Chains A and B, each alone.
Chain A
Amino acid sequence: EAEVAQSPRYKITEKSQAVAFWCDPISGHATLYWYRQILGQGPELLVQFQDESVVDDSQLPKDRFSAERLKGVDSTLKIQPAELGDSAMYLCASSLGGQGARGETQYFGPGTRLLVL
């Protein structure tokens, strides 16, 4: 069964350093999502792509976070510089992105757990 791949699974960094996370969605999925999940909370959408275009990044802290999906396939989320409050699980998800997009199932990867010291 096709899965969403993410790497690394775990990352420990010091504050003020740069970190990057990678996501490879299920083949053929046009929509890609990055979520941040703080311990004890539900996921919060950071950015949503339709193919290579950003359709929602209203919750992305743009002074330090950036996301790209240059060829409309895999995606990278970067944090520079990292802050203590960025410690969280970063989840990537993908969906087909067709006409029924609003009700589509999102398929989640295993996540990257980030710890900022």
Chain B
Amino acid sequence: AQSVTQLGSHVSVSEGALVLLRCNYSSSVPPYLFWYVQYPNQGLQLLLKYTTGATLVKGINGFEAEFKKSETSFHLTKPSAHMSDAAEYFCAVIGGFKTIFGAGTRLFVKA
């Protein structure tokens, strides 16, 4: 069985500051890991994913995430926050064949 824990339901940063959204997972098999973003009243959009290979994954809009097997983590970062980054972010894991989503982290960006 697999699960996902996103630490912090809300994160607030100033514009230009580092964004760090935390995700820890559990999986009995090598996981595939994803980060999605959701804007109000919209569906989810893929930011980035890790399947195999390089553990540092770069995505859209300047986001990246690093797969750390020893820490069972897949934290999302962006060096400099922009107002347009304000949204809900979901980490997801596929251990078997079913996608399990975390509860989400809402990112607020202050001017």
A interface residue numbers (CB < 8 A to B) = 4, 33, 40-45, 48, 55-56, 91, 93, 100-103, 105-111, 113
- For window 12-39 of B, CB contacts with A under 8 Å fall at 32, 36
Query: What bracket does the count of chain B residues touching chain A fall in?
Result: 20 to 34
Q: Residue A4 contacts which of B32, B41, B43, B103 (CB distance < 8 angstroms)?
A: B43
B103 → chain A, closest Cβ, in Å? 5
How many A-B residue contacts, CB cutoff 8 Å?
56
- Closest A-chain residue to B6, C-beta based? A42
Give complex CA distance A105, B94 in Å: 11
Give complex CA distance A108, B38 in Å: 10
For B98, list chain A residues within 8 Å (CB): 45, 48, 56
Contact, CB under 8 Å: B103 / A40: yes
